[in-house]
Amino acid sequence: MQSTLLIATAIVAAVPCYAAHNRVTVTTYGDAAGTAARAAVTEMYFDGLGRQTLSVSRGAGGAGEDVWTRTDYDRRGNVWRQWSPTPVAASAPLTTPPSAQALESAA
């Protein structure tokens, strides 16, 4: 049986590039006891209009990397480009958004 814990927090000034973004952290526990060892953690970042701009799945890559998926929007709010899920070396809490160059070099 899986259980899901949903925690929504606002990013504070310590994260300058995402200061105007909201973060939702979803933790899915893989066993009934709710142990952290089998937990899957995904962080989703949203802009001020409620559009998801970034998703980070912690430790979901084949070698334990974080998997990032980024979505860019045009001026009209339409999806301009959506990056394929890209493994990125495991990181601390997100302080800067992944640049297009970083995602291209990681792929």
Query: How sure is the predictor about 9, in pLDDT bands with cuts at 50, 70 and 90?
Result: very low
Strands, DSSP E only, in 1-107? 3-10, 22-29, 39-46, 52-58, 66-73, 79-82, 86-88
What residues pair up with 1 in beta bridges, in sequence order? none
Sorted by sequence, the CB contacts under 8 Å of residue 51 that are 6+ apart come out as: 71, 73, 77
Secondary structure (3-state) at 36? helix
| pLDDT of res. 86 | 86
In one letter, which amino acid is 43? E
What global pTM score does this model have?
0.63
* Angstrom distance (rounded) from CA 103 to CA 28: 26
Is the model's pLDDT at 64 over the cut of 70? yes
**Tokens coding 49:** 């209009």
